[in-house]
Structures are given as structure tokens and as C-alpha cells.
Amino acid sequence: MFKSTYFKAALLSSILLFISCDKDDAPEAENEMEVFTKAIIKVTNLSDDSSETYDFEVEEHDHDHDHGVLVQNQEGDDHGDHTEIELESGSEYKFEISFLNESDPNNVIDMTDEVIEEKDEHHVFYELAGDGISYATMSGDTLDSDGNALNLVTKWTTTTETVVEVEAYLIHQPTSKVGTTRDDFGGATDVEIEFEAHVEAE
């Protein structure tokens, strides 16, 4: 009787230990895919603090966050008709870009917070096709753990009258945060928008 009771107790302990180990070995659930439906750029003239806000609808990009593989959106860029941002020559501006998920109108999510939270895995890059405009990092921007600016806040400087095509990217898991073209950064594209910067004389 004693041996039978001992055997049952040992068997029960083994079963419980197996279940416990099985639960511990269960893989963690993957993070939900980030969804961006709108990008917003606020442009402030640093000389007089006047500002304009521009909204951009964003189409979904299919990409592999785990491996950072860039997959181009087969339907093209997320701009539709060109948005024109009007600037004055010989001026400085603050550009602030933010992102929303409006998939559920009753629960709009500010995705900028998630970008900041995952600052090591994101970077904003503006690709300019033309001269007369340049941009640089600006105080007040978020820095990643290596001290690289995310470019959520940038300072733009204009020199002469011009029209410059600009493509703005939110890049996920970039392989580099330094470059002059989109290809230099690698990674996956979370958001891609396009606008024309029109610089006119004051």
C-alpha cells in the first residue's frame, strides 16, 4: 500500500513538472504589426512662430519587422495628389512630423508615442531632389540609445527660390542611421509620403 501511494505521488509530481516546463517553454506572442494611417507635418516659421499643418493619408506597407527587409508598396507612394508646402527664401523652419492610427475612429492611436518608445528601431529620413533647401537635427528631438536623432523634429533652411520634391520615410529597423539616399538606411518602410517644397521670395 505504501509503495502504491508513493508511486502515485511521484507520478503526479512528474506530470505537474512537465506541465510547468511546457508553459515556461511556450513562445512569447509576437508584437502586433504597427499600423499607420496618417502622417502629420507641422511647419513653423522660426522668425515669427507662424505655422501650418499638413495631413497625409498613408497606405499600408507590407514588410517583415523581424528581419528588416524592405518591400516596396506595389501601389506606389502614400501621397496621391502632390501636397505643396510653401516656404520663404532665406528663412528657417521647424518641421515636426507625427503619426496616427485611425483604423478605429472611436479609438485613434498616436503612433508617435510608439515610435519614440522604440526609438532604437526607428528613423525618419527626408530625401530631397533639388537644391536651395537643407535640413538638420534640432534641439527637442528624441535621441536613440546611441545618441542618433530620430528626426521627428528638424530644422529646415531655405536659401533661394526653388521647387524641391521631398520624400519622407519612417524607417523600421534601419541598418544605418546615416545616409543621403533611402537605400543607405536599409530596414523596412513603415510610412512613405511625398510633397513639394515651394520656396518663394519674401
Looking at residue 39, its pLDDT comes to: 98
Q: Phi, psi at residue 12, to the nearest 5°?
A: -65, -40
* Closest listed residue to residue 34, CA positions, set 107, 99, 80: 99
Rounded-to-integer distance, Cα 14 and Cα 11, Å: 5
* Closest listed residue to residue 156, CA positions, set 132, 180, 174: 132
What cell does 169 get? Answer: 520615410
Looking at residue 60, its pLDDT comes to: 67
- For the chain, the average pLDDT equals 83
For residue 149, the cross-strand partners are 143
Rounded-to-integer distance, Cα 159 and Cα 138, Å: 18
Chain centroid offset of residue 104 CA: 20
- For the chain, where are the alpha helices, taking DSSP H only? 2-24, 111-117
Contact of 137 with 149, CB cutoff 8 Å? yes
Contact of 108 with 38, CB cutoff 8 Å? no
Rounded-to-integer distance, Cα 75 and Cα 46, Å: 37
Rounded-to-integer distance, Cα 81 and Cα 85, Å: 13
Looking at residue 46, its pLDDT comes to: 98
Give me the residues of the chain with pLDDT under 70, please: 1-33, 60-81
- CA 198-54-171 angle, to 5 degrees, is 95
Question: Which DSSP category does 181 fall into?
Answer: S
Looking at residue 20, its pLDDT comes to: 46
